Amino acid sequence: MSFFLKSNVLFAFTGLALVLTLPHGALAQSKENTSQTAPAATSATLTGTAVDGGTKAEALPFATVLLRRAEATDTSLVATGQTSLAGAFELSKVP
C-alpha cells in the first residue's frame, strides 16, 4: 500500500470516528445547566425630567407623563405618571 493511500484511509477513519462520537458528547450534556441562565427582565423603571421646550428649558411641575406604544398599529397606553415640583418623574413596572 502506498503512503498516500494509507494517509487517506487514516484521514477517513479519523473523520468517521469524529462524526460518530461528537453527537454523543452533545447529548451527554446535563439539562440542569439550563437553569443557571439569568431570567429575562419582565419590567423596568423609566425615570426622567420633564422640561419646557423653550429656550430656558424650565421644569414642568405636576405635569402628566404618558408612555404609549410606538407601533403604528398599536399606540395603546403603557404607563402613566406625574412629575414632581422639580419636574422629575418615575414610571415603574414598564413592560
Q: Model's pTM, two decimal places?
A: 0.53
The domain total for the chain is 2
- Are 27 and 49 part of one and the same domain? no
pLDDT digits (tens, 9 = 90+) for 35-90: 556 666 688 899 999 999 888 889 999 999 999 988 888 889 999 999 999 999 99
Question: Does residue 86 share a domain with residue 50?
Answer: yes
Can you spell out the DSSP letters for the chain? --HHHHHHHHHHHHHHHHHHHHHHHHHTS-GGGGGGSPPPP--EEEEEE-B-SSSS--B-TT-EEEEE---SS---EEEEEE--TTSEEEEEEE-
Residues 26 and 49 in one domain: no
> Which of 63 and 16 is assigned the larger pLDDT?
63
31 & 48 share domain: no
Q: In this predicted structure, what is the pLDDT of residue 55?
A: 80
Residues 20 and 49 in one domain: no
Q: Which domain holds residue 78?
A: 44-94
- Quick one: 77 and 57 in the same domain? yes
